Structure 1
Amino acid sequence: MADGPGDGAGNGPGRTRGRIFADLTPFRISADYRRLWFGNMVSWVGSGMTALAISLQVYDLTGSSFYVGLVGIFTLVPLVVFGLYGGAVADTVDRRKLGLYSALGSAALSAALSAGTFAGVANVWFLYAVIALQSICQALNGPARSAMIPKLLPPEHLPAANALNSMIMTTGTLVGPMLGGLVVGFAGYKTAYLIDAITFAASLYAMWRLPAMLPERTAGGAPGGVAGGAGGTKRPSVMEGLRFLATRPNLRMTFFSDFCAMILAHPRALFPAVAVLWYGGDARTTGLLVAAPAIGALLGGVFSGWQSRVHRHGLAVLISVGGWGAAIAAFGLTRQLWLGLFMLAVAGFSDTVSMVFRNTMMQVAAPDEMRGRLQGVFIVVVAGGPRLGDFLAGTVADLTSPAVMVVGGGVACVLAVTVLGLTRRSFARYDARNPVP
């Protein structure tokens, strides 16, 4: 699955072949990508601060865990509903402007949170309204931002870029809430929201420095593009994107394989029960269980140098998803906390590997005029799949036991992805040097 000569950036074969840590070549060859990565990293940390601060403030206002749970609903529903539409919009307008305006909207909403708190607005529905609007901005921003990456870098550097991008979300998820707790504890909610608004400056600057990024149109005039490549735009069409995906089996398989992991073997909802029943722990133990996959995912980005040498992306996806399932099943069999945390970290590492290659396949094998819509589907799958997995895990665990659900789910994931690989052999044979969607 490895390549031979250098990486196209002046790195010889020996240097490329021996790389272990993340490949930083995308930073060196593209100042636009470097600024975009840094801006997104800073804004993700700020958003993580706000996510925790809102949950804490809702609990302070209501004293109810139910109302805190509604924060997730008001975040998820707009993201799923508008994710597909955001991808369609990204395929019909200047993606730079869409990314810039949607990031500006998120920054303004964070500023509104801070201003409302400074003004003494203590209304939980105000908070719900703001986070719902922010989710809509994110649903518009995500596809546009992801569809920009293939325009900033050569195809051979996209796996490295996606590995670096994976570190953004993981770092924001880990660091943002920790900083949010410290800021809220020392300076209050208004300061956390204000810092979040300010952190968007880095992302806005990066977007502002980008050139215009109108979607390209294929020579055959496929639907959903921009007339003449830079002229008038067509109306955003979600259905055209779904019809395109229905006729591209390899791209479709990237989503099916992810469903195997996120729906069948996603034990997050069971962590509170597992912490008590298996390890005799408490809330701190639950926190460790939640953090372990994220730490593994971060390590997957840090130690990603080898991924640029892999060409059989479909096979890599199948193996990494199978690795996730096997690690989850092993986690269900152990009753030693350190070993359980290790297996969850292995699962998180495998998930990052799968994400890198799935994202790269969508960016390389799909025409530019469809990349936004595929990223919209990707957002829906990433946001919705784990929630379905939480529901399945909780239901099966209540009917049987957490152990049956975790072990059975991991085994089911391995079996399901194996069946997918055997029935869709073209996916396992997919070669990035000759991408076939």
Structure 2
Amino acid sequence: MRPVFAVRDARNYLIGQLFSVFGDSMLWLAMGVWVKMLTGSSSAAGLTMFAFVAGELLAPLCGLVVDRVGRRRLLIVTNLLTGALVLLLLLVHDRSNLWLVYVVMFGYGVSVAMLDAAQSAMLPELLPKELLVSANGFLTVMRQGFRLAAPLLGAGAVVVIGAHWVAVIDAATFAIATLSLVTVRGARNAPAPHGTGDGRERWTTSVLLGIRHVWATPALKRVLIAGAMSLSVFGFAQTALYAVVEKGLGRPPAFVGVLVSAQGLGAIAAGLTAAAVVRRIGEERVATAGFVLYAGGALLLIPPLPAAVAAGAVLCGFAVPWILIPMMTLGQKLTPANLQGRVHAAFNMVGGVPQTISILVGAALTAVLQYRLVLLLMFAVTLAAGVYLGVRSRADRAAAGRAAAAGRAGSERVGEEVRD
């Protein structure tokens, strides 16, 4: 990370993100707890997360905005508006104002989608390509670390100091992120004024340009397909872990928190190692290893042995950054500046929608099937994703090598003919 932090703009930018991500991690669970306290209804509390996810579904439109506006300016404005939006929670005092919580959470979801796409698009403007994986690794470690503590801290703060103070603290994190962005002098690249350069395309066509670029770029297409395959079963773990704890280990439901913490520790370790491994063997090989490791972790969750289950949780947590960091870095490297936002949004949508659906499917399957069968399905699909990516990337590299060799041979023949 030292070379990344040696770049002044990147250093200031990443430090600001520390505060912003902390606020994001703290708020979502805090709002659910608050709504539960106001209404006594678990369904009402669950709707806060639904409102947040619904806002994130606007990611493709957010990607289009990111590609049409200067990223630094957009990040500053979005952070300021989000901080102001969160302060609307100060107007909520009882269940009669509950609708305002849902409005804020929906807007918060839109904001996160916008900030996520803009942040991913801005990193290539601040850093050379060889440092992108280190920056992505740092952001992943930061998010996983905060995910361990910030949600519980936010939920506890709602009880101890009240939800209004949580909103004020969250708004302050956006203010700090804004100040850090003000100190960023500028970027090397700027998006084209109208996305594709001419501004005449229909907005629906323009929104889909990110997906078209991914589909036309073999390496991005491969990792996207493999990622969508695996994410279609990742959500199964949300319910399966409770069954593992209750039926497999005979422990109380609270023990799930121990396994989630184990996953977080594995994810932090993976984030710290991903950059070095990617530089050594490349993004696609690391992502392939990530899929295989996740499959192994799912398999270890099956035996009713605490040591095996704990190891499986750590392995699953470790695998996820080894999948996501290479995918994110590859997208940044192989995408022109004027499509960065839309490509990132495409990855988020193709990955996020299957994962969200898989949570519901996993809950239904766990209700009608033995949880071990659900875990076996996770193992099979994730392993298939790894095999697909490994085989296809190797075949495409071999084909590219043969084409390059044929090109060199043709050039040599032409040279000989010219000499003759």
Q: Which interval holds the TM-score relative to the shorter structure?
A: 0.7 to 0.9
> d(CA) in 2 for partners of 1:178 and 1:79?
22
- Please show how residues 5-16 of structure 1 align to structure 2 within 5 Å: none
Distance 2:297 2:122 in 1: 34
Q: Does 1:178 align with 2:149?
A: no
Query: What is the letter of the counterpart of residue 50 of structure 2?
Result: I
CA contact (8 A) 1:393 1:405 kept: yes
Contact 2:231 2:355 (C-alpha < 8 Å) held by counterparts:
yes
- 2:214/2:220 contact within 8 Å kept: yes
Indicate the structure (1 or 2) with the bigger Cα radius of gyration: 2
Is it true that 1:314 corresponds to 2:314 in the alignment?
no
User: Within 2, Cα distance between the matches of 1:238 and 1:305?
Assistant: 31
Tell me if 1:302 matches 2:272: yes
1:116 is the counterpart of 2:116: no
Aligned with residue 37 of structure 1, among 14, 21, 25: 14
Structure (1/2) with the larger helix percentage = 2
**Residue type of the alignment partner of 2:44:** Y
Kindly indicate whether the alpha-carbon contact (under 8 Å) linking 1:92 and 1:215 is maintained by their aligned counterparts in 2.
Answer: no
Structure-2 residue corresponding to 1:365:
334
Select the residue among 104, 113, 134 that pairs with 1:130: 104
For 1:21-420, list aligned pairs within 5 A. 23-28=1-6, 30-80=7-57, 82-113=58-89, 115-117=90-92, 123-213=97-187, 215-216=190-191, 224-226=195-197, 237-266=206-235, 267-304=237-274, 306-307=276-277, 309-332=279-302, 334-420=303-389
Give the Cα–Cα distance (whole angstroms) in 2 for the partners of residues 422 and 311 of structure 1. Answer: 15
Whole-Å separation in 2 of the counterparts to 1:257 and 1:406: 18
Task: Provide TM-score, normalisation by structure 2.
Answer: 0.87
For 1:265 and 1:53, how far apart are their aligned partners in 2? 24
Q: What is the deviation of 1:308?
A: 5.2
* Contact 2:78–2:115 under 8 Å retained in 1: yes
The Cα of 1:54 is off from its aligned counterpart by 0.6
How far did 1:135 drift? 1.0
**Contact 1:79/1:138 (<8 A) preserved:** yes
- Find the residue that maps to 1:261 and give its secondary structure: helix
Shift of 1:238: 0.6
Q: Any idea what SS the aligned residue of 1:210 has?
A: coil
Q: Which moved more, 1:92-101 or 1:203-212?
A: 203-212
- Once structures 1 and 2 are overlaid, which stretch shifts more, 39-48 or 189-198? 39-48
Which AA in structure 2 matches 1:125?
A: W
C-alpha displacement of 1:145: 1.2
User: CA deviation digits over 1:379-408, x for unaligned, max 9?
Assistant: 224432321222332233333211111123
Work out whether residues 292 and 348 of structure 1, in 8 Å CA contact, stay in contact via their aligned partners in 2: yes
The residue that corresponds to 1:10 in the other structure is none
DSSP 3-state at the match of 2:301: helix
Amino-acid identity (%)? 23
306-315 or 103-112, which deviates more: 306-315
Structure 2 contact 295–382 (Cα < 8 Å) conserved: yes
Q: Can you give the 5+ residue segments of structure 2 that lack an aligned partner in the other structure?
A: 401-420
Residue 233 to residue 299, structure 1, CA distance change in 2 (3 Å): farther
Once the two structures are superposed, residues 259-312 of structure 1 have per-residue CA deviations (whole angstroms, 9 ceiling, x without a partner) of 232213441222222221111122311222233222211221234452353242
What is the rounded CA distance, in whole Å, between the counterparts of 2:200 and 2:22 in structure 1?
35
Please say if residues 291 and 319 of structure 2, whose CA atoms lie closer than 8 Å, have aligned partners that are also in contact: yes
C-alpha contact (below 8 Å) 2:136/2:329 kept by paired residues: yes
Distance, in Å, in 2 between the alignment partners of 1:418 and 1:306 is 23
Partner of 2:403: none
What is the TM-score when the length of structure 1 is the normalising length? 0.84
Cα distance 1:427–1:97, how it changes in 2: closer, same or farther (>3 A)?
farther
**Structure 1: which 5+ runs fail to align?**
1-22, 432-437
Offset from partner CA, 1:198-223 (integer Å, 9 cap, x none): 11122111222224556345xxx9x8
Aligned residues: 396
CA 98–430 in structure 1, closer or farther in 2 if over 3 Å, else same = farther
Confirm or deny: 8 A CA contact 2:60 2:342 kept in the other structure.
yes
Any idea what SS the aligned residue of 2:68 has? coil
Cα offsets for 1:171-205 (capped at 9, x unmatched): 23222112213322321111111111111122111
Cα distance in structure 1, aligned partners of 2:63 and 2:388? 30
Q: Once the 2 structures are TM-superposed, how far is the Cα of residue 84 of structure 1 from its aligned partner? A: 0.8
Decide whether aligned partners of structure 1 residues 184 and 209 sit closer, same or farther in structure 2, where only a CA change above 3 A counts: same
The 10-residue stretch of structure 1 (124-133 or 36-45) with the greater mean CA deviation from structure 2: 36-45
User: Shift of the alpha carbon at 1:428?
Assistant: 6.5
CA contact (8 A) 2:230 2:381 kept: no
Letter in 1 for 2:307: W
The code of the aligned residue for 2:223 comes to: T
